[in-house]
Structure 1
């Protein structure tokens, strides 16, 4: 199966093992099952070959980055035959991690590989690496080979200490482990006793294919899987799925189909719960099944779960006659290798393919296989990505589906609903709101999107609440004009008057969906809490015939003091839009017609922090036409140089983000304090960047910086604020 890029950082951990005689040794390891880690055996031994008494591992890029104890369940340390491996059993599963498949490929035939791990000389992790294969080294005692590698970071020699156990990757999975640094004998000029010197950034890698001949190793990583089978409940798919289910259960796996749901059970909740527990998701895609909304919803949930945790493994079964998938199916599954199935004649081969993929999630068969061709790239379209600023309309190539999209569509499935979307500015709320509007229109459901950012300057209050009344009349005009309704005959005087306007509209438009984007902008006016309380009253009054989508950038607790009257905590609470993962950046670049290297993606992610709008701006700079060639794509060398320059100058007023940074500074400098003792936001941002302690008033002000997408809050209830990305850290850190 094709390796899923954005699962990689969550797969690798830093190992710390404590020796019997005191002291610690360090290394790198990676998950091959949810609780089993593969590493090098010597990472658990001291200089005198003493074994570690205990140890722990930390997955620094997962949501849970705490130290997790482990015990050794398999170890083989025999340098003479090229074996240096160990399997660790974690004390618990770690939230937000992912598993890597092992491949039996010969790396000598695949020079396009990469690695990443936790070198001791660099605190942040993981560190992405590339390099070259310099040949193989024969271990003649066993007739096996290992690989000689040169590891580099952005072209510079990599620090090797601590990288033992790091995976060596191709697009199909892990083909080897970085084992140890190589040494060469040096004879002094004029003779004398030879000395031993480290080879220049050379490492020996243990091939994964050697492990397949060790039954005890295979048993140490084996286990049953929970498999969810998603299909159209008609023939011939039903017979195929029944055959696949029998084969899975016969091999000790747990195979779920919705026929297993008992009478009286909540179908939707059972599907959701089962998918959240699934290790593997197998959708059966045929021309007929692609019309099933039930199948699409199951795919959405599985894809959202995979994006969050790296599980379940996505193994599509697909009719090869489908040259292209519908847009949403293609977004989730179009890039994945699949098991072909046309009908009954293909059932045996498709069952074998799925069984092999599930049974060998850790190790693929070593028989020669044609490598999966990487997906073809679209024609380079650098002008299109330059225009992808702001909200992206439905169908835009550069809009990236995220887990919250599936959650939002799921909530829209109810007859009426209340959905709050929360994220900082520039994270894609309006783009998702446009897609929710499109979904309503496609379903024939009346819908109106009101963007409060288009209201201009909001009316001020004159002390007699006239500002609020003026605002309500403005809102009523926008509401009636958007729905092509007659304006009220008399000016509105209270929120109850707007409620009457809303109820009259619902007489002709039942099931109306009202999307209020940027509604928290009203917080800058004294009547903000009264308005938010009015929205709650309107919801309570018309909840049986009207749905609401509320898009906000401010934490609900900061919008209202009376939480009981808040409209933002109804139903399941807000869904939150997050930053892009490194893999998302790679996908957006591919949609522009370019395939970036792992090290380049990592540098761009550091510079932007995954900020969606800033990421598109960075790619527009990096992927612009070559110098002096307005219609030609940039060369690989130009892309490499631009990425390096952007990373170095991302926070400079002479760098690629200069205009955005100036506009940002002007914007936050013009935001007035909400409280008398609230300090200026620029000064608070500078203190955060310089890691200085914030006063209580400054900590309250920092919440506004979270809303603006400048910082993120880590930990609760007393959060620590950190700059979202390198660009903001550099820029505000240099201000005086």
Structure 2
């Protein structure tokens, strides 16, 4: 087992659920455990632990002390690989199947803090286990200088890919002014990367919507990605490139959607956790609740992944469910930072604040301008019901009803 995170976390989970014991786990060959069935190809090389070894020494050899003693994780950023507190989505097996196909394109859409990056991480990890080259790049890492023109952005893009693949960035060798930036970038990826790799390359791009507001870059960059995807249909070399893109909004600005990757490939839209998924997450936190208690929590925060995980983490620290719910919309509650960030964003955009005030004060679903729908959806504040919208959860309705009162139409 060594320090393999999946095996370690799976083992701990089974011990916590009392489906096996530490003694049984340590004294049995790994390939005899059904819980490790997904890892059979690797277990033939795993050492058999001698029953004569003292449990303490075996524990040190097979389960790191930090992992054995680790409690619930504070939900910050993406959920790390091997975490007990990750909830697998039903779409994931299909994502893993798709990324193995020539010329694959997966596009993940969801508001902030709904799990886009966590899913992307697992797709990339799966591809890595298949022996593929992988590059993850968050476009928000591009600095102002790189965003000053399409040419500079594509040079930055190629340099980042090369660095992550540990290859020299021979940009000047492939960049000729008369050929144009898109042609130069395409030639670089084809000749300098794909031609020299002996396996498929997965390029995973996170937060791509940050360039939607830059028309020149957005149109050129996304039309190029679409071109690469189309090339895979007729050119064998381009079959080696697999794309994963993640974004939080459908407000594409002036981007021509038909010359972009946003209407092809496998669409993945991440929603909220179901009650069953929340119950599973509670089990991982070693919490035993009645269905009525789960309903109480979800009546306030819905199935919002971040809000659910933060609640369970704080309850594991000793906070009661009653206190959590009583203080949820106050400045002393656990959601204060989360809610305040949304408040600051709305306060900086009065028209958006006015639109959301209409949503939280309405007694039924209402219609908004498409621009406001896109922005509020990307923030995670609303859900759609047909052509209308409602607050994503009661927490948002209660918190913003009063605070957005100054933006009410007079």
Q: TM-score, normalised by structure 2?
A: 0.74
Retained in 1: the 8 A contact 2:355–2:368?
A: no
Deviations 1:598-654 (A, max 9, x none): 111111112221111111111112221x4xxxxxxxxxxxx6xx2123223322222
Q: How far apart are 1:399 and its partner, in Å?
A: 0.5
Match status 1:397 vs 2:84:
yes
Residue 615 in structure 1 maps to residue 300 in structure 2: no
Distance 1:458 1:666 in 2: 27
Q: What's the CA shift for 1:523?
A: 1.2
Q: Is 1:508 aligned to residue 186 of structure 2?
A: no
Corresponding residue number in structure 1 for 2:400: 732
- How many pairs does the alignment contain? 334
> Which residue of 1 is the match for residue 261 of structure 2?
567
Q: Are the structure 2 counterparts of residues 537 and 402 from structure 1 closer, same or farther at C-alpha, using a change threshold of 3 Å?
A: same
What secondary structure, in the 3-state scheme, does the structure 2 residue paired with 1:325 have?
Answer: helix
Q: Distance in 1 between matches of 2:141 and 2:345?
A: 17
> Conserved in 1, the CA contact under 8 Å of 2:209 and 2:249?
yes
CA gap 1:654/1:578 in 2 versus in 1, 3 angstroms: same
Q: Secondary structure at the match of 1:421?
A: strand
Contact 2:146 2:156 in 1 (8 A): no
Do residues 326 (structure 1) and 4 (structure 2) align? no
Distance 1:687 1:561, change over 3 A: same
**1:328 positional shift:** 5.9
Q: Is 1:687–1:693's contact at 8 Å kept on the other side of the alignment?
A: no
Query: Once the two structures are superposed, what CA deviation does each residue of 1:85-119 show, in whole Å capped at 9, x if it has no partner?
Result: xxxxxxxxxxxxxxxxxxxxxxxxxxxxxxxxxxx
Q: Helix, strand or coil for the counterpart of 2:91?
A: helix
What aligned pairs does 1:363-512 form with structure 2 within 5 A after superposition? 384-456=71-143, 461=148, 467-490=149-172, 494-504=181-191, 505-509=193-197, 510-512=199-201
CA–CA separation in structure 2 for the residues paired with 1:728 and 1:713:
15
3-state secondary structure, aligned to 1:680: helix
Change (3 A) 1:661 1:594: same
Instruction: Decide whether aligned partners of structure 1 residues 458 and 685 sit closer, same or farther in structure 2, where only a CA change above 3 A counts.
Output: farther
2:220 corresponds to 1:530:
yes
Alignment partner of 1:520 out of 209, 229, 242 = 209
SS in 2 for 1:619: helix
C-alpha displacement at 1:323, in angstroms? 4.0
Instruction: Pick the aligned partner of 1:705 from 372, 376, 397.
Output: 376
1:405-426 Cα distance to aligned partner (Å, 9 max, x none): 1221121232331111111111
> Could you report, residue by residue, the CA deviation over 1:472-503 in whole angstroms, capped at 9, with x for unpaired residues?
22212211111112113426761221111110
State the 1:460 CA deviation: 5.3
- CA distance, structure 2, for counterparts of residue 708 and residue 398 of structure 1: 23
- 1:665 paired residue among 343, 346, 361: 343
CA distance, structure 1, for counterparts of residue 256 and residue 302 of structure 2: 34
1:455 and 1:385, CA in 2 relative to 1: closer, same or farther beyond 3 A?
farther
Residues in 2 aligned to 1:441 and 1:411: alpha-carbon distance in whole angstroms: 14
Does structure 2 retain, via aligned residues, the 8 Å contact 1:607–1:727?
A: yes
- Counterpart residue number, 1:541: 231
CA distance in 1, matches of 2:208, 2:305: 21
Q: 2:112·2:380 contact (CA, 8 Å) conserved in 1?
A: yes
Q: Aligned partners of 1:478, 1:518: CA distance in 2, in Å?
A: 16
State the distance in 2 between where 1:381 and 1:622 align.
Answer: 20
- Residues 328, 711 of structure 1: CA spacing in aligned structure 2 closer, same or farther, 3 A cutoff? farther
- In the superposition, the TM-score normalised over structure 1's length comes to 0.42
Cα displacement (A) at 1:524: 2.3
Distance 2:294 2:365 in 1: 33
SS at match of 2:114: coil
Mapped contact 1:382–1:623 kept (Cα < 8 A): no
How many angstroms does 1:401 deviate by? 0.7
- 2: CA distance, partners of 1:492 / 1:656: 55
Q: Distance in 2 between matches of 1:705 and 1:594?
A: 33
Task: Give the counterpart of 1:656 among 334, 346, 365.
Answer: 334
- The answer to whether the 8 A contact 1:458-1:522 is kept is no
The superposition leaves residues 294-320 of structure 1 with CA deviations (integer Å, 9 ceiling, x where unpaired) of xxxxxxxxxxxxxxxxxxxxxxxxxxx
Spell out, residue by residue over 1:441-464, the C-alpha distance to the aligned partner (whole angstroms, 9 max, x if none). 111111111112333557555xxx
SS in 2 for 1:433: helix
Residues 76-155 of structure 1 aligned to structure 2 (within 5 Å) = none
Q: In the TM superposition, what whole-angstrom CA distance separates every residue of 1:143-187 from its partner, at most 9, and x where no partner exists?
A: xxxxxxxxxxxxxxxxxxxxxxxxxxxxxxxxxxxxxxxxxxxxx
Q: Deviations over 1:525-555 (max 9, x none)?
A: 2322332212212323354221111112123
Deviations 1:38-79 (A, max 9, x none): xxxxxxxxxxxxxxxxxxxxxxxxxxxxxxxxxxxxxxxxxx
| Separation in 2, partners of 1:536, 1:475 | 16
Cα deviation, residue 561, structure 1:
5.0
Residue segments in structure 1 that go unaligned for 5+ positions in a row: 1-320, 330-379, 462-466, 627-638, 673-678
* Structure 1 residue 429 displacement after superposition: 1.1
Q: Is the 8 A contact 2:114 2:305 kept in 1?
A: yes
Q: Secondary structure at the match of 1:551?
A: strand
- Using the alignment, how far apart are the partners of 1:431 and 1:616 within structure 2? 14
| Alpha-carbon contact 1:390-1:613 (below 8 Å) kept | no
CA distance in 2, matches of 1:489, 1:402: 40
Sort the Cα spacing of 1:711 and 1:458 in 2 relative to 1 into closer, same or farther, 3 A. Answer: farther
Rounded Cα–Cα distance in structure 1 between residues aligned with 2:155 and 2:209? 18
Which 5+ residue runs of structure 2 have no aligned equivalent? 1-30, 40-66, 233-237, 406-410
2:323 to 645, 648, 653: 645
For residues 32 and 122 of structure 2, what CA distance do their matches in structure 1 show? 26
Q: Which has the higher helix share?
A: 2
Cα contact 2:96–2:123 (8 A) shared by 1? yes
